[in-house]
Structure 1
Amino acid sequence: MPWLQGCERAQEAPVSRWVGASFERGHRLRTLKSGSLPVAAVQRRAGVLVIGGGVAGLSALHALDHAGHADAQLLELEDQAGGNSRGHIVAGLACPLGAHYLPVPGESTYEVSAWLHDIGLLRSDSAGVHANERYLCHSPQERLFIDGAWQDGLLPSAQGRPATLAQYRRFAALVDHAQRELGFALPTHRVRWSPGHAALDEQRFDAWLAANGLDDTRLLGYLDYCCRDDYGAGIHTVSAWAGLHYFASRHGFHAPGDDSAERDAVFTWPEGNAWLVRELAEPLKPRLCTGRTVLRVELQKHGVQVLAWDETAGQ
């Protein structure tokens, strides 16, 4: 639609396009029927094959490489690895396409901590572990536009809303209780799975919230945002375990006025987590096969057969 530049109306609409997501390649899976898949023009063998070059896939290949699997390879649909942590350039300025910060890892996340030591983001001495100040943001500041005005922080203000504040405090107490009684950690397998965890995982988060008398629209809206941010699904879809894990595995939940509420320090860069992707992918370049759309994965008697479309070669 037409847009305004100064006081004059432009004659043409600005050009817009998708950046970083080759949806045509993904749609190839939908349009190709299993009986009409092309015949492979080239056959290759690999001892281990990782499918998908997001941070999880790159981390898997990194671990395989360190474990001595010299014949491990990775297939990635896009022309650039990194998934939701890739970056972009706009008018010469670096910017993130998705994930844009990394919390300083806690004690249970020692694999991440070890890698951050390797790439110079953390260092250890007799006084403890120190983060590289060049990339550290001690006090991230966020703002929310609500009720026709800007406010500090993403949690909607409870000023003049005693019922909202009471529910914020009740949810904070429930998160604290879950932390102490059940335990939550990143990665999740650092805490033993218990019947209490299973009971939470068997019910939806929204149902658990309702059962605990939590129905304030501001609280529910914020929790829905948090779940969509981490899981890609809201409180009506994720389990109560997932909803609590978002907070209980990290910094908890803090109601307004809670003096202990201090946001964890985070690493960040102009290009977001693309900085980390570059550090992770560069040593693995010879093993990264980008522009490969995986069409089929078949488990066979003596291995796995993968059919992938080479987007550059067209075969």
Structure 2
Amino acid sequence: MRRPEKPLLTRRGFLRLLAAGGGLSLCAVRPSFPRTFDIPGEIHNPSPVAGHLLRGQQSWASFPSVEGKPFDAVVIGGGISGLSAAWKLERAGVDRVLLLELEEELGGNSISGVQGSEAFPWAAHYINIPPQEADCIHELLLDLGVIKGYDLQGRPEVAEECLLRWPHERLAIDGEWVEGLDPFVGVSEREMETLRLFEDDMLGWTLYRGRDGRRAFAMPLAYSTREERVRELDAITMEGYLRSRGWRSEGLDWLVDYACRDDYGGLSSQVSAWAGIHYWACRFYDHRLWDEYPPDTLTWVEGNAFLARGLADRLKPGRCRTGCLVLRVEIDGAGLLIRFIDLKNGRQHAIRSRT
């Protein structure tokens, strides 16, 4: 990684350096960094067979008639969102729930693998301790045994084994090791002042509450204030917001672009200011708030597959069907008509759901 005013290391290169951190810790102050690392890997993508079936022409007349009794609810997709929905429906007393998942394994982006005897995450691998208003997440983590209770200040008490043990981190910048993960080390005082102004601004948004008493940027999103001043941020880009504040800094631009790519897959010139600020202000990242809001992170050896399996295990037997490609959902007077193909045997199915 290089200082912001120079060409920056790519995200891939940055992750390679972090992945090799244990072995590189014994290197000299000005090491000769290897260009590549012999780290095996795989890419897990949805089946192309399913993709071609979805794209191809289907004769709905060839599908069998509706089978069995109608379900009370059908959930399409077995990632964390779908599993959470099915779990919540069951807890609410909904009797006949069915979850249909395209892949052979539940979890979506929260699946894991095994290397030897060690489990590892393929994708999503941590969550932050949810803010107080995220009552739905608290309910889930309580049921999974991650949150054990609350202290006198109402802060969650978390199972020790679920807390991330922060490693000693450092960046390789201009051929030198720099402690921590601060890409602004060694930049000009003007750049640092711009960063401080940005951090102060994000802190202000973190603490801001609208006239309705809601936080400006909450999780879940629906809990955020609907105050017009905040909603208007959705009409400009994050880049436009930075410029409106008079901030022109290569380092800050890089940092904000990185955040926008990380969460939204786009640059600050493509992401709205509302979404961009939400990245920084929805959680209590600022170190000045850590005494009141500890910035703890939850993680597991298998990553967020821990959550997926915990949710799936709490569903009644037979609730989940994997390897099912949903082709069509129709609304009619009787509720929903759902047509899907079981990819394991190629059979076509038609079922009904009330919701």
Per the shorter chain, which TM-score range?
A: 0.7 to 0.9
Contact 2:125–2:300, Cα closer than 8 Å, also in 1: yes
Give the TM-score normalised by structure 1: 0.83
AA at the equivalent of 1:314:
G
1:237 lines up with 2:250 in the alignment: no
Aligned AA for 1:158? V
Which residues of 2 match residues 22-171 of structure 1 at below 5 A? 22-25=46-49, 27-28=51-52, 31-33=55-57, 36=59, 39-41=62-64, 43-44=66-67, 45-124=70-149, 127=152, 129-137=156-164, 139=166, 142-171=169-198
Aligned-partner Cα distance in 1 for 2:49–2:179: 41
**Are the counterparts in 2 of residues 294 and 309 from structure 1 also a CA contact under 8 Å?**
yes
CA contact (8 A) 2:324 2:343 kept: yes
Alignment-derived partner of residue 255 in structure 2: 222
Extract unaligned runs of 5+ from structure 1: 1-12
Residue 169 and residue 39 in structure 1: after superposition, are their counterparts in 2 closer, same or farther (change >3 A)? Answer: farther
Percent identity for Structure 1 against Structure 2: 33
Residue aligned with 1:137, SS: coil
Distance 1:293 1:147 in 2: 50
- Structure 2: which 5+ residue stretches go unaligned? 1-37, 210-215, 348-355
1:159-198 map, 5 Å: 159-182=186-209, 183-198=216-231
Match of 2:300 in 1: 269
Alignment check: 8 A CA contact 2:171 2:179 kept: yes
SS at match of 1:80: coil
Contact in 2 for aligned 1:158/1:164 (Cα 8 Å): no
Contact 2:120 2:303 in 1 (8 A): yes
- Take 1:217 and 1:157, find their aligned partners in 2: how far apart are those partners? 10
Distance 1:280 1:140, change over 3 A: farther
Q: Aligned pair count?
A: 298
Normalised by the length of structure 2, the TM-score is 0.74
What's the Cα RMSD here? Answer: 2.9
Separation (CA, whole Å) in 2 of partners of 1:250 and 1:125: 19
Q: Residues 16 and 124 from structure 1, CA distance in 2 versus in 1: closer, same or farther, beyond 3 angstroms?
A: closer
Hey, what's the Cα distance between the residues in 1 that align with 2:167 and 2:61? 50
Distance 2:47 2:266 in 1: 20
Q: 1:140: how far off?
A: 5.6
Q: Quick check: 1:151–1:157 contact (8 Å CA) kept in 2?
A: no
C-alpha separation in 1, matches of 2:141 and 2:190: 43
Q: Is the 8 A contact 2:285 2:295 kept in 1?
A: no
**Structure 1 position 299 matched with structure 2 position 326:** no
The CA distance in 2 between the partners of 1:14 and 1:188, in whole Å, is 38
2:254 partner SS: helix
* Structure 1 pair 282–186 and aligned structure 2 pair: CA distance change class (3 A): same
Cα deviation digits, residues 202-227 of structure 1 (max 9, x gap): 11212222222233222222222222
Deviates more, 1:231-240 or 1:161-170: 231-240
